[in-house]
Chains A and B, each alone.
Chain A
Amino acid sequence: GQSYPGKPKIIRCRSLEKETFSCWWKPGSDGGLPTSYTLFYSKDSEEKIYECPDYRTSGPNSCYFGKNHTNPWTTYNITVMATNEIGSNSSDPQYVDVTSIVQPDAPVNLSLEAKTSASIRYLWAKWSPPPLADISSNSHVYHYELRLKPEEKEEWETISVGVQEQYKVTRLQAGVKYVVQVRCMFDLGEWSEWSSERWVQIPNGGSPPEKPTITKCRSPEKETFTCWWKPGSAGGHPTNYTLLYSKEGEEQVYECPDYRTAGPNSCYFNKKHTSFWTIYNITVRATNEMGSNVSDPHYVDVTYIVQPDPPVNVTLELKKPINRKPYLVLTWSPPPLADVRSGWLTLEYELRLKPEEGEEWETIFVGQQTQYKMFSLNPGKKYIVQIHCKPDHHGSWSEWSSEKYIQIPTDFRVKDMVVWIVVGVLSSLVCLIMSWTMVFKGYRMIAFILPPVPGPKIKGIDTHLLETGKSEELLSALGCHGFPPTSDCEELLIEYLEVEDSEDQQLMPSHDSSHPSKNAKMIPKETDSDSGRGSCDSPSLLSEKCRESHALPSRLQTQDIRDVQENKGGKGSWETQCIASEEKIFLFNNESTKSSTWPTAQLPNNQPPVFAYHSTTDAHKITLSTTNTNTAPALVGNEHQLQYPITETVHDDMEKQREVENLHSKTDQTTVQVKQNRPNGKPPFLNPKLMDYVEVHKVRQDEKPAVLLKHKENSGKTEKYIVPGTSKEYTKVSTVMDHNILVLMPDSRIQHTSVSQEPAMEISQNLQQGQDEKNMSYCLAVPSECKRETSGSEYMDPSSFMPSFK
């Protein structure tokens, strides 16, 4: 049937250069009747409608807008109307912006040229811009793009060219056929279509090879030699190498006689071709299809390039000579090729050695011999050894021979064993003997070997007490029991024993006065060092007593004091106190140069030892001072006091102080008569219970020398302690008479042998040193009974102060 035409459709509008454009439409059905098409357009928003100016230029079903009708800055609204007899139909409107539809034609006249320059292959591509109707279009500037790919490949390589109309492609593979296309774009428009394809074949040409280099030439036995070279880059083609050489002084060039024997890239010169003491000029030429290249010349004199092979047949032998240490002999042979026998090649050897676990090699130059003796290897260890050699003249060292392991056998020599066995037996024997001795003899042996060091008998100062600062305790610690003397102290022994009559006389008067000061005066006179020591005071007694008490204090002061204090109440305190006092005394002595206060006191300085009951502290001072000034006797007094390890803290402080004062005042004097100040009749600080010794209270010279002792209740005990009066410290008491009178041994030279304590020893010494012994028998009497008959003794008669002896 016939109907109105179908709706046309605008398929495309395109501008070539932005100055003209064309639109094409596709007709719809024609409805069976001839149809004509009309294109109408309007610009922007204008109402006016125009009709296509040119239906022909761009072909059928097209409309060409020329320059006059093209306005780049406007938007065209284009419709196409199809009309036939029955009716018409309009297409949908198409909005066209010229700027956006610009698409140039593809470039034309693409030409390709492959060139090789300096072994670089490149491709020259040239083209022309798309032709345009107007000549003015030549002023247009296009941007181009080029793409190429090897013919067989799928992927294109696209290169942006810019505004040039030619381009040089470099990265090309030789022998490949490439296909190339190019397209262009106008300003901001679209790219044109790709131009038609063009093909190009890249020529196959490689490059000549690179220069080879000769690396080294070596002769292993000084009869032949080999040279090796290193090829350069191949250049893409198989390369052939030839070695050429000439000899010094000859013009002729020879080629390598043997390329094979020594491996690839090598040349082996056999004996025939090897000359010595001539310089070879060697070069290597590399050749391929493209050309050839020659290495630098290499000059070599075979004499100097000898590098032998490593030595062989490395063997070890252990030699064990008699009477000497075994040693290893290492032997080897020169490398097989080297002709050492004819002397043509002389080799020197060097070996290196290290323990298996070691880090560093020890290198030993051996010389031309083929054996080496090794003496200094450690038994039992494993060693690695290697050898290498070099010609004795010019040449280089060979490689090291393969590692050889040495295991040194551990070698226990019989002699060593015997020595060790003997040593072991002897030491075990000694140990056995020692142990048996210990078991059987025990203590005695030990005592024999290591005699015990007797401790001093002096009770020293308890430092703790000092620190605490309690005077009473201090004083008690010092041994001044009952200082100031208390009633208990009365029982304490007399401090000192007057030995000398004459001396007594001197002393006695002073004694009467119960003032320490007076007593003090007395001090220097008496030489009786011993006086009044008697009982506890006497060091011998003290020592004895102390000995007996087995209370050898280990320490001077502290223990004593403590002991003393502890024993305040007990009878045993005597002993301890004795010890303590002894120790203290000794302590004093130590301070002075005298060994013990006792001796010092009893030194035959003819200074009346003044004994006073003072606190031990005072006594200390006294002793100190006196000893310093050679007035030991004074010390004695102190000692006496010391001797009275006055455990009793019950002192009369006053008395003490007084006495102390006296002491102090007299400290500078030789003999400080430490007088126990007991004006109040308090007993001296002697604690009878504590003291072992009985101090001689005073000596009565009138009838028979009698020593007044302050003794404790057990007067009997005092016997032992009396110091032989002779100016010496101690006197043995022979008997005790009634009235508590002690008769002292005539032989006043008591050796203090009683216990043979050290202090006693000293004392005895002093005795000997001292004055003549005086046969004195002392009357030891209870002070209460034996009045203070000082009989001229120097000693302060403590009894005078002590109302009574208990």
Chain B
Amino acid sequence: CHTSGMPTPNGKEYAQNIPREELTHLILKLLQAWKEPLSHFNQHIEHHQELPDDSLSKAKQISNMVHELKTGVEKSMGIISNSLNGMASSEATGLSISSEANMMSDSDFIHCFRRDSNKVQSYLKILKCRIMPENSC
């Protein structure tokens, strides 16, 4: 996966020990890393006639969701200013990452995306329970 290079906590303890901001930053980085590949992927599968329409729309939906999620996280964490800094660097890395992503096969792409989205979900949940423990935590 193109995001394999990113150092991400591999377990609960690691994730819990990371300070909040860093975790948030990590989440955003991940989300950012997928923005390009996702849109590229969507373009790519549009030409696939074998896929049912549901898949195409689902893929688009997911891309949108990722984008919205990123925006949401940014907003909720109030990291707009940070993201400006981070953007520059992440964009740079994002470009290289994207090129890497283009090389992947479709199944690998999906596999990597599934994993990374799971990562993001888990980190977000940890964040949530850290910030607002009363809410079903």
A residues at B contact (CB < 8 Å): 222-223, 249, 271, 274-278, 301, 303, 339-344, 346, 368-369, 393-394
Report the nearest A residue to B132, measured CB to CB.
A343
In whole angstroms, what is the CA distance A222 to B128 when docked? 18
When the two chains form their complex, are residues A343 and B129 in contact, meaning their CB atoms are under 8 A apart?
yes
When the two chains form their complex, are residues B125 and A346 in contact, meaning their CB atoms are under 8 A apart?
yes
When the two chains form their complex, are residues B137 and A277 in contact, meaning their CB atoms are under 8 A apart?
no
When the two chains form their complex, are residues A223 and B137 in contact, meaning their CB atoms are under 8 A apart?
no
Contact of A393 among B11, B121, B137 (CB under 8 A): B121
Beyond A303-B115, A339-B12, A343-B127, 17 additional pairs, beta carbon < 8 A: A223-B11, A223-B12, A249-B4, A271-B11, A271-B13, A274-B11, A277-B8, A340-B137, A342-B12, A342-B126, A343-B129, A343-B130, A344-B15, A344-B125, A344-B126, A393-B118, A393-B121
When the two chains form their complex, are residues B10 and A394 in contact, meaning their CB atoms are under 8 A apart?
no
In whole angstroms, what is the CA distance A369 to B137 when docked? 10
- Answer whether residue B16 sits at the interface, using C-beta atoms and an 8 A cutoff: yes
**B residues contacting the other copy or chain, number (CB 8 A):** 22
Contact of A341 among B10, B11, B118, B129 (CB under 8 A): B129
- Answer whether residue B57 sits at the interface, using C-beta atoms and an 8 A cutoff: no
In whole angstroms, what is the CA distance A394 to B125 when docked? 15
Contact of A277 among B119, B125, B128 (CB under 8 A): B119
In whole angstroms, what is the CA distance A669 to B70 when docked? 108
Q: List 16 A-B contacts (CB under 8 A).
A: A223-B12, A249-B4, A271-B11, A275-B10, A275-B11, A276-B11, A276-B122, A277-B8, A277-B119, A303-B115, A340-B137, A342-B137, A343-B129, A343-B137, A393-B118, A393-B121
Residues in B93-137 with C-beta less than 8 Å from chain A: 115, 118-119, 121-122, 125-130, 133, 136-137
Given known contacts A369-B136, A393-B121, A344 and B12 CB-to-CB distance under 8 angstroms: yes
When the two chains form their complex, are residues B115 and A301 in contact, meaning their CB atoms are under 8 A apart?
yes
Given known contacts A301-B115, A346-B125, A341 and B8 CB-to-CB distance under 8 angstroms: no
Per-position binary interface string of chain B over residues 13-42, scored 1 when its CB falls under 8 Å from any chain A CB and 0 otherwise: 101100000000000000000000000000
Contact of A394 among B15, B118, B136, B137 (CB under 8 A): B118
Q: Shortest CB–CB separation between residue A181 and chain B, in angstroms?
A: 69
When the two chains form their complex, are residues A277 and B126 in contact, meaning their CB atoms are under 8 A apart?
no
Contact of B12 among A222, A368, A369 (CB under 8 A): A222
When the two chains form their complex, are residues B129 and A276 in contact, meaning their CB atoms are under 8 A apart?
no
Report the nearest B residue to A340, measured CB to CB.
B137
Which residues of the other chain, B, contact A303 by a CB distance below 8 angstroms?
Answer: 115, 118
When the two chains form their complex, are residues A344 and B122 in contact, meaning their CB atoms are under 8 A apart?
yes
Per-position binary interface string of chain B over residues 67-90, scored 1 when its CB falls under 8 Å from any chain A CB and 0 otherwise: 000000000000000000000000
How many pairs of A and B residues are in contact by the CB < 8 Å rule?
51
B residues at A contact (CB < 8 Å): 4, 8, 10-13, 15-16, 115, 118-119, 121-122, 125-130, 133, 136-137
When the two chains form their complex, are residues A342 and B16 in contact, meaning their CB atoms are under 8 A apart?
yes
In whole angstroms, what is the CA distance A343 to B127 when docked? 8
What are the 6 tightest A-B residue pairs by CB atom distance, in nearest-first order?
A343-B129, A343-B125, A275-B10, A344-B12, A343-B126, A341-B137
In whole angstroms, what is the CA distance A276 to B137 when docked? 21
Report the nearest A residue to B9, measured CB to CB.
A276
Which residues of the other chain, A, contact B16 by a CB distance below 8 angstroms?
Answer: 342, 344
In whole angstroms, what is the CA distance A692 to B15 when docked? 120
Q: Shortest CB–CB separation between residue B32 and chain A, in angstroms?
A: 18
Contact of B115 among A274, A277, A346, A369 (CB under 8 A): A277
Q: Shortest CB–CB separation between residue A733 and chain B, in angstroms?
A: 104
Which residues of the other chain, A, contact B122 by a CB distance below 8 angstroms?
Answer: 276, 344
Which residues of the other chain, A, contact B13 by a CB distance below 8 angstroms?
Answer: 271
In whole angstroms, what is the CA distance A341 to B4 when docked? 28
Q: Shortest CB–CB separation between residue A274 and chain B, in angstroms?
A: 7
In whole angstroms, what is the CA distance A220 to B121 when docked? 19
In whole angstroms, what is the CA distance A274 to B115 when docked? 16
Which residues of the other chain, B, contact A223 by a CB distance below 8 angstroms?
Answer: 11-12
Which residues of the other chain, A, contact B11 by a CB distance below 8 angstroms?
Answer: 223, 271, 274-276
In whole angstroms, what is the CA distance A345 to B80 when docked? 29
Given known contacts A301-B115, A342-B137, A276 and B4 CB-to-CB distance under 8 angstroms: no
Which residues of the other chain, B, contact A277 by a CB distance below 8 angstroms?
Answer: 8, 10, 115, 118-119
Q: Shortest CB–CB separation between residue A639 and chain B, in angstroms?
A: 91
Report the nearest B residue to A248, measured CB to CB.
B4
In whole angstroms, what is the CA distance A223 to B16 when docked? 13
Q: Shortest CB–CB separation between residue A710 and chain B, in angstroms?
A: 105
Contact of A368 among B4, B127, B133, B136 (CB under 8 A): B136
In whole angstroms, what is the CA distance A711 to B11 when docked? 128
Q: Shortest CB–CB separation between residue A272 and chain B, in angstroms?
A: 9
Interface centre among A271, A277, A368, A394 (most CB of B within 10 A): A277
Report the nearest B residue to A223, measured CB to CB.
B12
Which residues of the other chain, A, contact B129 by a CB distance below 8 angstroms?
Answer: 341-343
Which residues of the other chain, A, contact B118 by a CB distance below 8 angstroms?
Answer: 277, 303, 393-394
In whole angstroms, what is the CA distance A346 to B118 when docked? 12
Which residues of the other chain, B, contact A271 by a CB distance below 8 angstroms?
Answer: 11, 13
In whole angstroms, what is the CA distance A394 to B111 when docked? 13
In whole angstroms, what is the CA distance A703 to B12 when docked? 137
